[in-house]
Amino acid sequence: MRKEKTIAGCLLLFFFFQGFFSILEKSPTFDEPVHLTAGYLYWKKGLFEYNYLDPPLPNLLNALPLLFFSLDIPPPSWIKNEKNIWAISDRFLYHNRLDAQRIILFGRIVSLLLGVSLGYLIYRWGKEEFGQEGGILSLFFFSFSPTILAHARLTTTDLCATFFIFLTLFLFKKFSVAPTFKKGILTGTSLGFAIASKHFSLFLFPLLLLLSSLSRNRKKIHLYMPGIFLFSLLVLASTYGFYKFPVYWRGLFHMSTDITAKGWLSFLHGNYRRGGWWYYFPFLFLVKTPLNILFLSLLFFPFFFNLKKRIILWLPPLFFFLLAMQSKIQIGHRHLLPVYPFLFLMCGGTGKRFLELEKKWKPLSLFLIYTYPLNSFLIFPHYLAYFNGILLPSRAYEWVADSNIDWGQDLKGLKKWVEKKGLDKIYLGYYGTADPNYYKIPYRYLPSTTANLDRYHYTPMPKGKEIIAISVTTYHSLYVKDLSFYRWLHKFKPFTSIGYSILLFDITENIVAHLHLGINYYRSMLFQEAKEEFEKVVRKDPQNPYAWFNLGKVYEIMGEKEKAINCMERALKFCGDKERVRIKRYIEELKKK
């Protein structure tokens, strides 16, 4: 017994330190600043309206360590009038008396400790189901899971919701065996915390009713269920301080009638669709789940014939998986996170059964067990970009985007790379809300989602090597002006990447690339940058009609009419017959102005 507890403790320590050292390597992901700011505002000012779309519990927990510091808060009147919550979080994180790096670290440590708690809970449940060895194996598969490690280090809602969903079902299992008032209260409390973590957790209500109907004690359980559900709503209301409870219903209504109903723009292997595809999550599950887990969890079913007895192990993950497939918000593998704790339990049971079989099975079982940690070690510290080999991390950018691979987490790595190469500056098209200026990255801004954060500042073109660093999500033109915005860049091949999430292209003296950059700047109304890009092209290729014509349009907007006409006339000299008529007409109209 003592030996098993020591092993369990060591596995939890391994999990913690893997997550902790990965935290130190990563910049804030897209949503983290908003969640941390929200938690602090909830505690200090009760401003639950700030991030009303999400329930407050994860934010409250992550912000707990920040209560020991007296941080600056923007005036509540300014917060209420400011519609851009990203601007508020930017001010809170990067313009405060406590360094942004420490603010993020303290928030992430809470998530990591919650991850450790989830691991301990998996060990407890596995031990009860399959004995000491089964518990240890279940914890083992948890402790080296790239999927769990990816989200247990972030101040987002996914890990917190997964923990309380799993805890609710663990407590419900105990309650269903011997229903008592105390067990019902514990189940209701955990259920309340689950729905206070993520709206998705509301599906626990029908799931618990289904499980209770399949229980031997269903008549007695059904007497308790209304009370459990009502008590869970009371717990939910308490996370809003009771008086702000209507904010929850506002957020739920907006999510269900606007965002969820209309769907979100999804990307998969060059295709875009609002609302996604039925096979989106099955594909992600197939390529982002370690092959060891896929194999052992599938073998759970033939190895355990009395599946009705263990229905609580396989029905909830199946239920959550099918729900995810129906969702119109398909932006990340993280929405499958509640499935994985149950898979670890199933793998723990299968692994134990393997070891108990004849000797001929032992080499296979030992191979699956001993090679499993490689999934974590080989991808460290880039857990968000983990893929199991069916799809390689280095090629995954061609297939997926957003939090599947790129959530804005690699500015630190980019800074180190730029310093190592001694570059003057780079072109940066960054998908994220972290501040490149905070990391002192010398860059020339490329149009991307950060345009809304008022971080744009003019900088001259890079000298010497000309490198484009572009986030995978921006590379696929998601959340920018249109879906073809950076499609021209797809004709080039990245020579490397930072953490698999930021692609690097060498466009030194490349006329085609600079022409397209000029067009992108022009479309984004960054006319000084557009002018410089077009001027570079005509210096290198004086007979390029497209560069001359676009340069003329820039001069026209800048009010330099004579220069604009001169550029148009040069374009006329080198253009084809099809463009000649259009350019002549454009020059005539320009002269009349």
The rounded Cα 194 to chain-centroid distance in angstroms is 20
Positions of the chain with pLDDT under 70: 1, 76-83, 261, 304-306, 358-361, 450-454, 593
- Residues 255-276 pLDDT 10s: 888 777 678 899 999 999 998 9
Query: How far is residue 503's CA from residue 495's CA, in Å, rounded to a whole number?
Result: 8
- Residues 39-80 pLDDT 10s: 999 999 999 988 999 999 999 999 999 999 989 887 766 666
What are the residue ranges of helices labelled H in 46-180? 57-62, 76-81, 85-94, 100-143, 146-151, 158-177
CA distance readout (Å), 261 to 257, 329, 511: 5, 9, 45
pLDDT value for 317: 96
Q: Is residue 45 within a helix (H) or strand (E), and if so which, with residue range?
A: helix 32-45
pLDDT value for 389: 93
Helix (H, G, I), strand (E, B) or coil at 427: strand
Amino acid residing at 372: Y
Helix (H, G, I), strand (E, B) or coil at 52: coil
Nearest residue to 161 (alpha-carbon basis) of 36, 43, 59: 59
Amino acid residing at 310: R
pLDDT value for 355: 79
pLDDT value for 565: 87
Nearest residue to 127 (alpha-carbon basis) of 352, 364, 368: 352
Which 8-state DSSP code applies to residue 287? H
Query: How far is residue 511's CA from residue 211's CA, in Å, rounded to a whole number?
Result: 64
Other Cβ atoms closer than 10 A to 185: 17
pLDDT value for 211: 93
For the entire predicted model, the pTM comes to 0.94
pLDDT value for 81: 66
Query: How far is residue 303's CA from residue 393's CA, in Å, rounded to a whole number?
Result: 33
Query: How far is residue 348's CA from residue 379's CA, in Å, rounded to a whole number?
Result: 23
Domains of the chain: 2-30+99-245+272-377 (no CATH), 392-508 (no CATH), 520-593 (1.25.40.10)
Query: How far is residue 175's CA from residue 169's CA, in Å, rounded to a whole number?
Result: 9
